[in-house]
Structure 1
Amino acid sequence: MTGLSLPEEIVLLTLDDATGRAIGRQGIAASIALAGAVMMELALAGRVDTDRHRLEVLDDSPTGDPVLDTGLPLLREASDSRGALMLLAREETGLRPLVLSALLARGLLHRVDGRVLLVFPERRYLKPEDRPEPREVRARLLRSIETDDIPEPREALLLGLARATALLPLLLPPELLAARQERIMLLNRIEALNRSVSETVGDLYLYRLRSV
């Protein structure tokens, strides 16, 4: 157990270890993966009940987590899980800074402001060399695929999100992915929550990708 929430783990995964820039095509993968992570964390907290087609808010009282407390009220406006994910993905510009602020406050990221081509402002988030936690997220993801051990539920959920948004090819060696496809599919089916949210995340990701 890392003490990190699923939204925090997704943000760490979607930041390139070397450059501190977001990975994934035009940020689509990162935004939809974050939306799915928020929904999964709310489900784990008992605040929502969801499957591939349905979403019900069970408890909308504050959780104490700024990210979840920003996302939860949005779900009152959704009629189904896909609509909820779309609302959360649209709010990514509000949710992501909250996650980054929490990671910065804990010393798990270091902000670097600079310029591209000496003209365009750019902000990057580097993973400190003296803190293992940010890189351990990817290492755990790798171990869950390489071994035949039953993973922790959160590891299976994280893998499901990374697979659904096509992040795995950006994070892991292609030869490993090719050799362990059966294992990846098995892990994606272990948790009912993983199956429902990951499938919906995957549908939305493909829809957004075709719209670009």
Structure 2
Amino acid sequence: MTIQDLTLAEGLLLLALKDDTGERTGSFVEYALAGSALAELVLRGVLAEAPDKPAHFILADDRPTGDRYLDDCLAVIKEKGVTSSPKKLIEKLAGKKHLTVPLYEGLINRGILHRQTKKVFFFFDRKVYPEADPTHEAALKAHLEEVMFGNSEVSARDTILVAFLQQTELLRRNFDKEKLKAHKARIKEIAEGEHLAATATVETIKAVRAALMTAIIVAAVIVPATS
């Protein structure tokens, strides 16, 4: 298996779920999933940078992707307006909790996760998603370790995942803290896209990363203020 066997959102979600309990960890993961959907649509050529409006999108390919999660996200993006800022699109997608349903369903149908119902305070039911087949997550982790701690070539997908895992505090939850500390400089370079050639797609991906950072900062300020 390679990292390409999972979408960006699937990879991020697997690393956000506790293997045994299926409970989600990390901070602002819903924003990172939204950013992952945008980045995936860019990498697939569905969205492209607007020629007259840097760091904004145009719809380059209106055909269905064949992935229900991505297609549902794209429908929301069209409703919001493709030319909206990436930050606003991330916030819009993150605010629609139902969008993650097909993301979980896809992993369940492939035998990677399974669904359980857990009682909360003896009265309320909550769905959790423990791992059914650990090989996919293990392969993803091994790949990212080679990228971060070794000298493996860095792809756009690697850059996105490392950046988003870093922003959601999932790097330290999944990888050895001493290794992360020892390779801090390389990880920073990867997350900032310094190992990628300067192309229109890469610049658009960087814009998504920047938008995610801003959306998380805004959410972090608003949540305590309104709680």
Q: Please confirm whether the aligned pair reaches a TM-score higher than 0.5, indicating the same fold.
A: yes
- Shifted more, 31-40 versus 153-162: the winner is 153-162
1:106 equivalent in alignment to 2:105: no
Please report the TM-score for the alignment, with normalisation by the length of structure 1. Answer: 0.88
The equivalent residue for 1:174 is 177
**AA in 1 matched with 2:173:** L
Aligned residues: 207
Q: Is the 8 A contact 2:31 2:90 kept in 1?
A: yes
Deviation at residue 131 of structure 1 after TM alignment: 4.3
Q: Is the 8 A contact 2:42 2:205 kept in 1?
A: no
The equivalent residue for 1:44 is 43
Q: Check 1:169–1:206 CA distance in 2 against 1; reply closer, same or farther (3 A cut).
A: farther
The equivalent residue for 1:89 is 94
Deviation at residue 36 of structure 1 after TM alignment: 0.8
Q: Secondary structure at 1:110's aligned position in 2? A: coil
The equivalent residue for 2:85 is 80
Q: Is the 8 A contact 2:65 2:71 kept in 1?
A: yes
Q: Which has the larger radius of gyration?
A: 2
Q: Check 1:50–1:172 CA distance in 2 against 1; reply closer, same or farther (3 A cut).
A: farther
The equivalent residue for 1:71 is 73
Unaligned stretches of 5+ residues in structure 2: 197-201
Q: Check 1:210–1:174 CA distance in 2 against 1; reply closer, same or farther (3 A cut).
A: farther
Q: Once the two structures are aligned, what percentage of the paired residues are identical?
A: 27
**AA in 2 matched with 1:108:** I
Q: Is the 8 A contact 1:50 1:196 kept in 2?
A: no
Q: Is the 8 A contact 1:47 1:58 kept in 2?
A: yes
Deviation at residue 48 of structure 1 after TM alignment: 0.6
The equivalent residue for 2:60 is 58
The equivalent residue for 1:10 is 12
Deviation at residue 158 of structure 1 after TM alignment: 1.1
Once the two structures are superposed, residues 51-76 of structure 1 have per-residue CA deviations (whole angstroms, 9 ceiling, x without a partner) of: 87312222222222111111112223
- Shifted more, 146-155 versus 66-75: the winner is 146-155
Q: Is the 8 A contact 1:15 1:22 kept in 2?
A: yes
Unaligned stretches of 5+ residues in structure 1: none
Distance 2:131 2:159 in 1: 23
Q: Check 1:118–1:85 CA distance in 2 against 1; reply closer, same or farther (3 A cut).
A: same
Q: Is the 8 A contact 1:113 1:123 kept in 2?
A: yes
2:23 to 21, 24, 28: 21
Deviation at residue 168 of structure 1 after TM alignment: 1.8
Distance 1:126 1:50 in 2: 37
Distance 2:177 2:130 in 1: 25
- Shifted more, 5-14 versus 46-55: the winner is 46-55
Q: Check 1:211–1:173 CA distance in 2 against 1; reply closer, same or farther (3 A cut).
A: farther
Please report the TM-score for the alignment, with normalisation by the length of structure 2. Answer: 0.82
